[in-house]
Amino acid sequence: MTFELELSTISGIKILGLGGAGVNILKSFQELSLNGLELIALDSSALSLEKISLPYKVQLTRGEGRKKGSLSLLREELSPYLENAEIALIVSGLGGETSALYLPSLTRILKDLGILTIAVLLFPFHFEGKMRRNRAESIKESLEESADAILVFPNEHFYQLYPDLPLVEFFSRVNSTICDVVNSLLEPMLYPSLINLEVSTLRRILEGAGEVMIGWAEESGEKRALRAIEKSFNSMSWKKEESRKIKRLLISIAGGDDLTIQEVSKICESLTYRVYPEADIAVGAVTRENFRGIIRLTFCGIKSLGSKLSPKPLIEERKRLW
Ligand SMILES: Nc1nc2c(ncn2[C@@H]2O[C@H](COP(=O)(O)OP(=O)(O)OP(=O)(O)O)[C@@H](O)[C@H]2O)c(=O)[nH]1
Ligand SMILES: [Mg+2]
């Protein structure tokens, strides 16, 4: 007898795209055909929801109808989608109204259900003005009480990298980079791996992490492992000495069938050497088709050893909460 399990039904990993940017990034997830991730789109704009084809879409209310978007109703509306969720990522661009209205409630709902909640946030460009930036900053701060881990991708950072790209290409590049980074962190749980990551390990590393330091790089050719380490540390241009403060570290490595154990070991040793000496370290390594010649390194560094959040209910207790 053979069992055919669909990855999407067993992974328990949900990606929620909230607001215009969030929904756009879900589209990039679809284009990359990443397996095992269940996508849910939420927006107040019907137009934005129309542009994506998904079984799960939630139209949020705004303005006068805002009361309908209260916490308990939203929770009721979302509960069928979240029943088997262990990990949820909420992807949203900060600065707009929809994310400001709904992001804090959404993360609170997820936390109260005991789901490991990762907020993937885009920050507005400088040219969008100070008011939008301030709003983005205060929403991010408000999430620190409910989201486990916060990954920040400032649009301005990508603008400095690709100032000359046409707009459409720019967003497509940025959005697919974000998908790649998120996917790299999750794939050692999704695919048969050389070194696999358990959901419980991800929980240990990311629970109550606050804002996370992220790094990523993809390299090929001679000394690709060494170059990937350097490049990943420079990818978000945070200061070198900051790495010493990392007390929990998640390392994810992907390569082709030519990835060597020596390369994996070199990367892990080098990263371990740069962080807090007693840091809690988790490693995942996968081989992927079409990755021959390539090494991809992604990591998340967390500055606290213990969780910054109040305890969540255990997943086992969840049934009682519905
Ligand atoms: N990288 C990236 N950033 C985007 C994209 N769309 C919007 N943004 C950024 O995300 C911020 C928030 O924009 P939206 O997501 O459209 O805002 P919203 O939450 O839908 O809010 P309202 O439309 O005001 O209700 C913007 O200020 C942009 O900086 C996108 O496709 N990719
Ligand atoms: Mg919008």
Nearest to 199 by CA among 80, 269, 270, 114: 114
**Per-chain residues with Cβ under 5 A from ion ligand 2:** 20, 45
Are 169 and 175 in contact by the 8 Å Cβ rule? The answer is: no
pLDDT reported for residue 7: 43
Per-residue pLDDT of the chain (322 residues; tens, 9 = 90+): 344 444 444 568 999 999 999 999 999 999 887 777 899 999 999 999 999 999 889 999 876 555 555 677 788 888 888 888 999 999 999 999 999 999 999 999 999 899 999 999 999 999 999 999 999 999 999 999 999 999 999 999 999 999 999 999 999 999 999 999 999 999 998 887 888 898 899 999 999 999 999 999 999 999 999 999 999 988 887 777 889 999 999 999 999 999 999 999 999 999 999 999 999 999 999 999 889 999 999 999 999 887 777 777 665 566 555 4
Q: How many Å is the Cα radius of gyration of the chain?
A: 19
Distance CA 84, CA 17 (A): 18
Distance CA 232, CA 308 (A): 26
Distance (angstroms) between ligand 2 centre and the Cα of 202 equals 31
Distance (angstroms) between ligand 1 centre and the Cα of 39 equals 18
pLDDT reported for residue 6: 45
Are 118 and 148 in contact by the 8 Å Cβ rule? The answer is: yes
- SS3 sequence of 140-175: HHHHCCCCCEEEEEEHHHHHHHCCCCCHHHHHHHHH
Mark out the alpha helices in the chain (DSSP H runs).
7-11, 19-31, 46-50, 71-82, 97-112, 130-143, 155-161, 167-190, 199-206, 224-234, 261-274, 318-321
pLDDT reported for residue 190: 86
Distance CA 81, CA 38 (A): 9
Residue pointed to by tokens 């301030």 = 134
* Nearest-5° Cα angle at 298, 113 to 202: 30
Q: What is the per-residue DSSP string for 263-300?
A: HHHHHHHHHHHHS-TT-EEEEEEEE-TT-TTEEEEEEE
Sign of CA dihedral 107, 317, 301, 256: negative
pLDDT reported for residue 309: 77
Residue nearest to atom 30 of ligand 1 (CA): 21
Distance CA 253, CA 232 (A): 12
Nearest to 94 by CA among 48, 154, 45, 149: 154
Distance CA 309, CA 119 (A): 14
Residue nearest to atom 3 of ligand 1 (CA): 21
Nearest to 99 by CA among 109, 87, 107, 110: 107
Are 200 and 288 in contact by the 8 Å Cβ rule? The answer is: no
Per residue in 209-220, pLDDT (tens digit) is 999 999 999 999
Question: Which fold would CATH assign to domain 11-186?
Answer: Rossmann fold (3.40.50)
Are 189 and 96 in contact by the 8 Å Cβ rule? The answer is: no
pLDDT reported for residue 86: 92
pLDDT reported for residue 152: 96
Residues touching ligand 1 (Cβ under 6 Å) are 19-21, 24, 44, 93, 95-99, 122, 124-125, 128, 132, 155, 171, 174-175
Ligand 1 nearest atom to the CA of residue 44, by list position: 25
Distance (angstroms) between ligand 2 centre and the Cα of 96 equals 7
pLDDT reported for residue 57: 92
